[in-house]
Structure 1
Amino acid sequence: MALEPNTLQYEGTFVDGRRWDVEYWTASQLDQVLAKITPEQFADEQGTWRTLSYHETALLERLPYAAAADDGQWLKRTRASLASSAHRSVLIVNSLKQADSYTEDVAGQIARGDLHSAVIAARTAFSHAVDALQASLGQFGSLWPKWRARRMQILDPELLPFDAYWAIETMRSFDPDNPQKWIEETIAVCQRISMEVTV
Protein backbone atom coordinates (compact mmCIF):
# COMPACT_ATOMS: atom_id res chain seq x y z
CA MET A 1 0.00 0.00 0.00
CA ALA A 2 1.07 3.61 -0.45
CA LEU A 3 1.59 3.91 3.30
CA GLU A 4 4.43 3.60 5.78
CA PRO A 5 4.84 0.78 6.56
CA ASN A 6 3.66 -0.31 3.12
CA THR A 7 2.40 -3.74 4.12
CA LEU A 8 -0.71 -4.86 5.96
CA GLN A 9 -0.35 -7.73 8.40
CA TYR A 10 -3.11 -10.27 7.85
CA GLU A 11 -4.14 -13.70 9.03
CA GLY A 12 -7.04 -16.04 8.55
CA THR A 13 -8.19 -18.30 11.35
CA PHE A 14 -11.16 -20.40 12.37
CA VAL A 15 -13.03 -20.01 15.66
CA ASP A 16 -15.81 -22.51 16.40
CA GLY A 17 -15.91 -23.46 12.73
CA ARG A 18 -16.28 -19.88 11.49
CA ARG A 19 -13.58 -18.20 9.41
CA TRP A 20 -12.18 -14.90 10.68
CA ASP A 21 -10.07 -12.59 8.54
CA VAL A 22 -7.91 -10.41 10.77
CA GLU A 23 -6.06 -7.30 9.56
CA TYR A 24 -3.56 -5.50 11.75
CA TRP A 25 -3.42 -1.77 11.02
CA THR A 26 -1.11 0.55 12.90
CA ALA A 27 -2.46 3.84 14.26
CA SER A 28 0.03 5.60 11.98
CA GLN A 29 -1.30 3.81 8.91
CA LEU A 30 -4.85 4.80 9.81
CA ASP A 31 -3.77 8.43 10.28
CA GLN A 32 -2.15 8.34 6.85
CA VAL A 33 -5.36 7.01 5.28
CA LEU A 34 -7.43 9.71 7.00
CA ALA A 35 -4.97 12.32 5.71
CA LYS A 36 -5.85 11.24 2.16
CA ILE A 37 -9.50 12.18 2.58
CA THR A 38 -9.36 15.60 4.20
CA PRO A 39 -11.65 18.25 2.71
CA GLU A 40 -8.52 19.95 1.33
CA GLN A 41 -7.40 16.78 -0.45
CA PHE A 42 -10.90 16.26 -1.84
CA ALA A 43 -10.95 19.82 -3.23
CA ASP A 44 -7.59 19.25 -4.95
CA GLU A 45 -7.89 17.93 -8.52
CA GLN A 46 -4.80 15.79 -7.86
CA GLY A 47 -5.84 14.94 -4.28
CA THR A 48 -4.48 11.81 -2.63
CA TRP A 49 -8.05 10.52 -2.13
CA ARG A 50 -7.83 9.36 -5.73
CA THR A 51 -5.15 6.83 -4.73
CA LEU A 52 -7.16 5.01 -2.06
CA SER A 53 -6.62 1.28 -2.38
CA TYR A 54 -9.26 -1.41 -1.94
CA HIS A 55 -7.96 -2.16 1.57
CA GLU A 56 -7.90 1.50 2.57
CA THR A 57 -11.45 2.03 1.33
CA ALA A 58 -12.56 -1.11 3.18
CA LEU A 59 -10.96 0.15 6.38
CA LEU A 60 -12.80 3.48 6.12
CA GLU A 61 -16.12 1.80 5.36
CA ARG A 62 -15.74 -0.46 8.41
CA LEU A 63 -14.85 2.24 10.93
CA PRO A 64 -18.42 3.46 11.52
CA TYR A 65 -19.39 -0.09 12.53
CA ALA A 66 -16.29 -0.92 14.56
CA ALA A 67 -16.38 -2.07 18.19
CA ALA A 68 -13.71 -0.94 20.62
CA ALA A 69 -11.55 -3.48 22.45
CA ASP A 70 -10.49 -0.89 25.03
CA ASP A 71 -12.23 2.06 26.72
CA GLY A 72 -13.33 3.36 23.32
CA GLN A 73 -11.67 6.79 23.49
CA TRP A 74 -9.32 6.17 20.56
CA LEU A 75 -12.16 4.87 18.40
CA LYS A 76 -14.30 7.86 19.38
CA ARG A 77 -11.56 10.30 18.29
CA THR A 78 -10.97 8.35 15.07
CA ARG A 79 -14.67 8.37 14.21
CA ALA A 80 -14.76 12.12 14.83
CA SER A 81 -11.88 12.54 12.37
CA LEU A 82 -13.69 10.36 9.87
CA ALA A 83 -16.94 12.31 10.29
CA SER A 84 -15.19 15.63 9.61
CA SER A 85 -13.38 14.24 6.56
CA ALA A 86 -14.52 14.02 2.95
CA HIS A 87 -15.09 10.26 3.31
CA ARG A 88 -18.77 10.46 2.38
CA SER A 89 -18.03 12.65 -0.65
CA VAL A 90 -15.21 10.37 -1.81
CA LEU A 91 -17.47 7.31 -1.74
CA ILE A 92 -20.28 9.13 -3.53
CA VAL A 93 -18.02 10.49 -6.26
CA ASN A 94 -16.33 7.13 -6.82
CA SER A 95 -19.67 5.30 -7.06
CA LEU A 96 -21.21 7.91 -9.37
CA LYS A 97 -18.16 7.80 -11.65
CA GLN A 98 -18.56 4.04 -11.95
CA ALA A 99 -22.31 4.36 -12.57
CA ASP A 100 -21.74 6.99 -15.27
CA SER A 101 -19.03 4.87 -16.92
CA TYR A 102 -21.33 1.86 -17.17
CA THR A 103 -24.17 4.07 -18.37
CA GLU A 104 -21.95 5.19 -21.25
CA ASP A 105 -21.15 1.55 -21.96
CA VAL A 106 -24.87 0.81 -22.19
CA ALA A 107 -25.38 3.49 -24.83
CA GLY A 108 -22.57 2.08 -26.95
CA GLN A 109 -23.74 -1.50 -26.56
CA ILE A 110 -27.30 -0.62 -27.55
CA ALA A 111 -25.98 1.26 -30.59
CA ARG A 112 -24.11 -1.89 -31.63
CA GLY A 113 -27.16 -4.06 -30.99
CA ASP A 114 -25.45 -5.94 -28.14
CA LEU A 115 -28.42 -6.00 -25.77
CA HIS A 116 -27.10 -8.88 -23.68
CA SER A 117 -24.03 -6.89 -22.69
CA ALA A 118 -26.17 -3.79 -22.21
CA VAL A 119 -28.33 -5.64 -19.66
CA ILE A 120 -25.25 -6.57 -17.64
CA ALA A 121 -23.82 -3.05 -17.87
CA ALA A 122 -27.18 -1.55 -16.80
CA ARG A 123 -27.30 -3.85 -13.77
CA THR A 124 -23.77 -2.82 -12.83
CA ALA A 125 -24.54 0.88 -13.31
CA PHE A 126 -27.58 0.47 -11.07
CA SER A 127 -25.51 -1.18 -8.33
CA HIS A 128 -23.03 1.71 -8.32
CA ALA A 129 -25.82 4.31 -8.37
CA VAL A 130 -27.45 2.66 -5.36
CA ASP A 131 -24.10 2.62 -3.55
CA ALA A 132 -23.81 6.37 -4.17
CA LEU A 133 -27.32 6.93 -2.85
CA GLN A 134 -26.61 4.87 0.26
CA ALA A 135 -23.32 6.69 0.93
CA SER A 136 -25.10 10.04 0.61
CA LEU A 137 -27.42 8.89 3.39
CA GLY A 138 -24.63 7.62 5.66
CA GLN A 139 -24.76 3.90 4.91
CA PHE A 140 -21.35 2.74 3.70
CA GLY A 141 -20.51 -0.62 2.20
CA SER A 142 -19.93 -0.37 -1.55
CA LEU A 143 -17.31 -3.13 -1.29
CA TRP A 144 -19.88 -5.51 0.21
CA PRO A 145 -22.78 -5.79 -2.25
CA LYS A 146 -24.17 -8.78 -0.33
CA TRP A 147 -25.55 -6.28 2.23
CA ARG A 148 -26.87 -3.76 -0.33
CA ALA A 149 -30.50 -4.86 0.00
CA ARG A 150 -30.29 -4.76 3.79
CA ARG A 151 -28.93 -1.22 3.67
CA MET A 152 -31.79 -0.20 1.38
CA GLN A 153 -34.30 -1.71 3.80
CA ILE A 154 -32.78 0.35 6.60
CA LEU A 155 -32.82 3.56 4.55
CA ASP A 156 -35.95 3.14 2.42
CA PRO A 157 -35.05 6.45 0.73
CA GLU A 158 -37.66 8.69 -0.82
CA LEU A 159 -35.59 8.94 -4.01
CA LEU A 160 -35.69 5.16 -4.45
CA PRO A 161 -37.98 3.38 -1.97
CA PHE A 162 -37.04 -0.17 -1.08
CA ASP A 163 -39.85 -1.76 -3.11
CA ALA A 164 -38.81 0.15 -6.24
CA TYR A 165 -35.16 -0.74 -5.62
CA TRP A 166 -36.00 -4.42 -5.11
CA ALA A 167 -38.08 -4.58 -8.28
CA ILE A 168 -35.07 -3.41 -10.30
CA GLU A 169 -32.55 -5.49 -8.34
CA THR A 170 -34.55 -8.65 -9.01
CA MET A 171 -35.33 -7.58 -12.60
CA ARG A 172 -39.01 -8.11 -11.91
CA SER A 173 -40.20 -6.29 -15.05
CA PHE A 174 -37.53 -7.70 -17.37
CA ASP A 175 -38.97 -9.04 -20.64
CA PRO A 176 -36.54 -11.28 -22.54
CA ASP A 177 -38.38 -10.37 -25.74
CA ASN A 178 -37.86 -6.65 -25.11
CA PRO A 179 -34.74 -6.19 -22.96
CA GLN A 180 -34.18 -2.63 -24.12
CA LYS A 181 -37.25 -1.42 -22.22
CA TRP A 182 -35.83 -2.68 -18.90
CA ILE A 183 -32.39 -1.31 -19.75
CA GLU A 184 -33.73 2.16 -20.50
CA GLU A 185 -35.92 2.24 -17.39
CA THR A 186 -33.00 1.15 -15.21
CA ILE A 187 -30.61 3.69 -16.71
CA ALA A 188 -33.23 6.42 -16.19
CA VAL A 189 -33.23 5.58 -12.46
CA CYS A 190 -29.42 5.70 -12.40
CA GLN A 191 -29.45 9.11 -14.06
CA ARG A 192 -32.05 10.44 -11.63
CA ILE A 193 -29.93 9.32 -8.69
CA SER A 194 -26.84 10.87 -10.28
CA MET A 195 -28.62 14.21 -10.69
CA GLU A 196 -30.22 14.33 -7.25
CA VAL A 197 -27.57 12.89 -4.92
CA THR A 198 -25.60 15.64 -3.20
CA VAL A 199 -21.83 15.22 -2.95
Structure 2
Amino acid sequence: MDEQHRGSRARRSGTRHVPYEETYVDGRRWDVEYWTTGQLEQVLEKISEEQFADDRGAWRTLSHHEVALLERLPYAAAADDGAWLARTRARLDAGAHRSVLVARCLRNADGSVEDAAGQLAAGDVDSAVIAARLAFHHAVDGLQASLGQFGSLWPKWRARRMRLVESAILPYDRYWALETMRTYDPEDPGAYVREIISLCRQISLEVEL
Protein backbone atom coordinates (compact mmCIF):
# COMPACT_ATOMS: atom_id res chain seq x y z
CA MET A 1 0.00 0.00 0.00
CA ASP A 2 1.24 3.48 -0.79
CA GLU A 3 1.95 5.64 2.19
CA GLN A 4 0.60 9.15 1.67
CA HIS A 5 1.57 11.00 4.80
CA ARG A 6 3.51 10.39 7.99
CA GLY A 7 4.06 12.51 11.07
CA SER A 8 5.82 11.69 14.33
CA ARG A 9 5.42 13.10 17.80
CA ALA A 10 5.01 12.00 21.43
CA ARG A 11 1.91 11.88 23.60
CA ARG A 12 2.27 12.65 27.28
CA SER A 13 0.69 10.14 29.63
CA GLY A 14 1.06 9.01 33.22
CA THR A 15 3.79 6.71 31.90
CA ARG A 16 5.88 9.61 30.55
CA HIS A 17 5.99 10.08 26.78
CA VAL A 18 4.44 7.62 24.34
CA PRO A 19 5.88 8.15 20.82
CA TYR A 20 3.37 7.81 18.04
CA GLU A 21 3.00 8.29 14.32
CA GLU A 22 0.08 9.56 12.29
CA THR A 23 0.10 7.85 8.93
CA TYR A 24 -2.29 7.88 5.99
CA VAL A 25 -2.53 4.74 3.89
CA ASP A 26 -4.87 4.68 0.89
CA GLY A 27 -6.67 7.71 2.30
CA ARG A 28 -7.24 6.22 5.74
CA ARG A 29 -5.57 7.61 8.85
CA TRP A 30 -3.66 5.28 11.16
CA ASP A 31 -2.46 6.32 14.64
CA VAL A 32 0.44 4.13 15.74
CA GLU A 33 1.55 4.29 19.38
CA TYR A 34 4.79 2.79 20.70
CA TRP A 35 4.44 1.55 24.29
CA THR A 36 7.43 -0.01 26.03
CA THR A 37 7.08 -3.08 28.23
CA GLY A 38 7.99 -0.94 31.23
CA GLN A 39 5.25 1.58 30.48
CA LEU A 40 2.69 -1.19 30.14
CA GLU A 41 3.85 -2.65 33.46
CA GLN A 42 3.20 0.71 35.13
CA VAL A 43 -0.35 0.77 33.78
CA LEU A 44 -1.04 -2.81 34.85
CA GLU A 45 0.23 -2.04 38.35
CA LYS A 46 -2.27 0.80 38.61
CA ILE A 47 -5.20 -1.56 38.03
CA SER A 48 -4.29 -4.29 40.48
CA GLU A 49 -6.92 -5.47 42.95
CA GLU A 50 -4.89 -3.87 45.75
CA GLN A 51 -4.87 -0.47 44.04
CA PHE A 52 -8.58 -0.65 43.28
CA ALA A 53 -9.37 -1.46 46.93
CA ASP A 54 -7.42 1.62 48.07
CA ASP A 55 -9.47 4.81 48.37
CA ARG A 56 -6.49 6.67 46.95
CA GLY A 57 -5.37 3.94 44.59
CA ALA A 58 -3.21 4.78 41.59
CA TRP A 59 -6.03 3.72 39.23
CA ARG A 60 -7.56 7.13 39.90
CA THR A 61 -4.57 8.77 38.19
CA LEU A 62 -4.92 6.95 34.88
CA SER A 63 -4.38 9.32 31.98
CA HIS A 64 -6.55 9.54 28.87
CA HIS A 65 -4.04 7.52 26.85
CA GLU A 66 -3.63 4.89 29.55
CA VAL A 67 -7.40 4.39 29.63
CA ALA A 68 -7.37 4.13 25.83
CA LEU A 69 -4.73 1.40 26.08
CA LEU A 70 -6.76 -0.53 28.65
CA GLU A 71 -9.90 -0.27 26.52
CA ARG A 72 -8.10 -1.46 23.39
CA LEU A 73 -6.18 -4.44 24.79
CA PRO A 74 -9.21 -6.78 24.97
CA TYR A 75 -9.77 -6.24 21.22
CA ALA A 76 -6.13 -6.21 20.14
CA ALA A 77 -4.78 -8.48 17.40
CA ALA A 78 -1.30 -9.93 17.88
CA ALA A 79 1.39 -9.30 15.26
CA ASP A 80 3.40 -12.30 16.50
CA ASP A 81 2.41 -15.73 17.81
CA GLY A 82 0.06 -14.11 20.35
CA ALA A 83 1.75 -15.50 23.48
CA TRP A 84 2.57 -12.09 24.95
CA LEU A 85 -0.91 -10.75 24.27
CA ALA A 86 -2.47 -13.84 25.87
CA ARG A 87 -0.38 -13.36 29.02
CA THR A 88 -1.29 -9.68 29.16
CA ARG A 89 -4.99 -10.42 28.83
CA ALA A 90 -4.70 -13.01 31.58
CA ARG A 91 -3.23 -10.32 33.82
CA LEU A 92 -6.10 -7.98 32.93
CA ASP A 93 -8.59 -10.66 33.91
CA ALA A 94 -6.76 -11.39 37.16
CA GLY A 95 -6.66 -7.72 38.14
CA ALA A 96 -9.28 -5.01 38.45
CA HIS A 97 -9.31 -4.08 34.76
CA ARG A 98 -13.08 -4.27 34.29
CA SER A 99 -13.83 -2.77 37.70
CA VAL A 100 -11.56 0.21 37.05
CA LEU A 101 -13.13 1.02 33.69
CA VAL A 102 -16.65 0.63 35.07
CA ALA A 103 -15.90 2.73 38.15
CA ARG A 104 -14.44 5.58 36.08
CA CYS A 105 -17.57 5.77 33.93
CA LEU A 106 -19.97 5.60 36.87
CA ARG A 107 -17.99 8.21 38.81
CA ASN A 108 -18.29 10.57 35.83
CA ALA A 109 -21.99 9.74 35.52
CA ASP A 110 -22.61 10.52 39.20
CA GLY A 111 -20.90 13.89 38.82
CA SER A 112 -23.05 14.83 35.84
CA VAL A 113 -26.20 13.60 37.62
CA GLU A 114 -25.42 15.97 40.49
CA ASP A 115 -24.96 18.79 37.99
CA ALA A 116 -28.25 18.02 36.23
CA ALA A 117 -30.20 17.77 39.47
CA GLY A 118 -28.75 21.03 40.78
CA GLN A 119 -29.35 22.90 37.54
CA LEU A 120 -32.92 21.62 37.35
CA ALA A 121 -33.59 22.74 40.92
CA ALA A 122 -32.15 26.16 40.10
CA GLY A 123 -34.41 26.52 37.07
CA ASP A 124 -31.59 26.26 34.51
CA VAL A 125 -33.41 23.60 32.53
CA ASP A 126 -31.41 23.88 29.32
CA SER A 127 -28.12 23.27 31.15
CA ALA A 128 -29.78 20.42 33.04
CA VAL A 129 -30.66 18.72 29.75
CA ILE A 130 -27.04 18.91 28.59
CA ALA A 131 -25.72 17.60 31.93
CA ALA A 132 -28.29 14.79 31.89
CA ARG A 133 -27.15 13.67 28.45
CA LEU A 134 -23.53 13.64 29.63
CA ALA A 135 -24.59 11.55 32.63
CA PHE A 136 -26.53 9.19 30.37
CA HIS A 137 -23.54 8.56 28.12
CA HIS A 138 -21.18 7.94 31.03
CA ALA A 139 -23.69 5.58 32.65
CA VAL A 140 -24.25 3.66 29.40
CA ASP A 141 -20.49 3.30 28.93
CA GLY A 142 -20.21 1.97 32.48
CA LEU A 143 -23.03 -0.49 31.91
CA GLN A 144 -21.42 -1.72 28.70
CA ALA A 145 -18.02 -2.07 30.38
CA SER A 146 -19.59 -4.15 33.14
CA LEU A 147 -20.75 -6.53 30.42
CA GLY A 148 -17.36 -6.71 28.71
CA GLN A 149 -17.80 -4.05 26.03
CA PHE A 150 -15.17 -1.35 26.52
CA GLY A 151 -14.91 1.91 24.60
CA SER A 152 -15.87 4.97 26.63
CA LEU A 153 -13.37 7.05 24.63
CA TRP A 154 -15.03 6.07 21.35
CA PRO A 155 -18.67 7.23 21.56
CA LYS A 156 -19.13 6.72 17.81
CA TRP A 157 -19.44 2.97 18.54
CA ARG A 158 -21.72 3.33 21.57
CA ALA A 159 -24.90 2.22 19.76
CA ARG A 160 -23.11 -0.75 18.20
CA ARG A 161 -21.80 -1.83 21.60
CA MET A 162 -25.30 -1.50 23.03
CA ARG A 163 -26.57 -3.98 20.45
CA LEU A 164 -23.91 -6.46 21.58
CA VAL A 165 -24.95 -6.49 25.22
CA GLU A 166 -28.10 -7.83 26.80
CA SER A 167 -29.16 -5.68 29.71
CA ALA A 168 -32.39 -5.92 31.66
CA ILE A 169 -31.58 -2.51 33.13
CA LEU A 170 -31.49 -0.82 29.73
CA PRO A 171 -32.81 -2.76 26.72
CA TYR A 172 -31.66 -1.45 23.36
CA ASP A 173 -35.04 0.01 22.37
CA ARG A 174 -35.16 2.18 25.48
CA TYR A 175 -31.52 3.15 25.07
CA TRP A 176 -32.13 4.27 21.50
CA ALA A 177 -35.27 6.20 22.43
CA LEU A 178 -33.32 8.13 25.07
CA GLU A 179 -30.25 8.52 22.86
CA THR A 180 -32.32 10.06 20.07
CA MET A 181 -34.35 12.10 22.62
CA ARG A 182 -37.58 10.54 21.40
CA THR A 183 -39.12 11.06 24.84
CA TYR A 184 -38.02 14.68 25.06
CA ASP A 185 -40.95 17.12 25.31
CA PRO A 186 -40.02 20.76 24.59
CA GLU A 187 -42.98 21.78 26.75
CA ASP A 188 -41.63 19.80 29.70
CA PRO A 189 -37.87 19.23 29.32
CA GLY A 190 -37.58 18.58 33.04
CA ALA A 191 -39.38 15.27 32.59
CA TYR A 192 -36.61 14.06 30.27
CA VAL A 193 -33.95 15.19 32.75
CA ARG A 194 -35.67 13.39 35.63
CA GLU A 195 -36.01 10.21 33.56
CA ILE A 196 -32.29 10.25 32.77
CA ILE A 197 -31.34 10.98 36.38
CA SER A 198 -33.48 8.09 37.60
CA LEU A 199 -31.99 5.68 35.04
CA CYS A 200 -28.41 6.71 35.81
CA ARG A 201 -28.95 6.20 39.51
CA GLN A 202 -30.46 2.79 38.83
CA ILE A 203 -27.45 1.80 36.71
CA SER A 204 -25.03 2.98 39.42
CA LEU A 205 -26.88 0.93 42.03
CA GLU A 206 -27.30 -2.26 40.03
CA VAL A 207 -24.07 -2.54 38.04
CA GLU A 208 -21.46 -4.68 39.78
CA LEU A 209 -17.88 -3.44 39.99
Aligned CA RMSD, in angstroms, stands at 0.9
Which residue, 2, 6, 25 being the options, matches 2:14?
2
- Residues 1:184 and 2:190 aligned together: no
Match of 1:21 in 2: 31
TM-score by length of 2: 0.92
Within the alignment, does 1:67 sit opposite 2:77 as a pair?
Answer: yes
Q: CA deviation at 1:119?
A: 0.4
More strand by share: 2
Q: 1:160 maps to which residue?
A: 170
Partners of 2:115 and 2:131 within 8 A in 1:
yes
Identity of aligned residues (%): 64
Deviation at 1:32, TM superposition (A): 1.2
Q: Return the letter of the residue paired with 2:43.
A: V
Q: Which residue of 1 aligns with 2:157?
A: 147
SS at match of 1:193: helix
The runs of 5 or more residues in structure 1 that have no matched partner are: none
Deviation at 1:2, TM superposition (A): 3.0
AA partner of residue 173 (structure 2): D
CA distance, structure 2, for counterparts of residue 90 and residue 81 of structure 1: 14
Tell me how far 1:64 sits from its aligned partner.
Answer: 0.4
Tell me the CA shift for residue 140 of structure 1: 0.5
Contact kept, 8 Å, 2:47 with 2:95, in 1: the verdict is yes
Q: In the aligned structure 1, how far is the partner of 2:31 from the partner of 2:120?
A: 42
Pair 1:57 & 2:67 matched: yes
Q: Deviations over 1:131-159 (max 9, x none)?
A: 11111111110111111100000113121
Runs of 4+ with deviation above 4 angstroms: none
Q: What TM-score, normalized by structure 1, do the two folds share? A: 0.97
Which deviates more from structure 2 when the two are superposed, residues 92-101 or residues 119-128? 92-101
What's the offset of the Cα at 1:104?
Answer: 0.8
Task: For structure 2, list consecutive stretches of 5 or more residues without a partner in the other structure.
Answer: 1-12
Where does residue 204 of structure 2 map in the other structure?
Answer: 194
Q: How many equivalent pairs are there?
A: 197
Answer yes or no: is the 8 Å Cα contact 2:47–2:58 preserved in 1: yes
SS in 2 for 1:11: strand
Deviations 1:22-42 (A, max 9, x none): 101111111111011000111
What amino acid is the match of 1:162? Y
* Aligned residue in 2 for 1:99: 109
- Aligned-residue offset at 1:112: 1.5
Q: Is the contact made by 2:112 and 2:135 (CA closer than 8 Å) also made in structure 1?
A: yes
State the distance in 2 between where 1:91 and 1:70 align.
Answer: 27
Q: Which residue identity is paired with 1:2? A: G
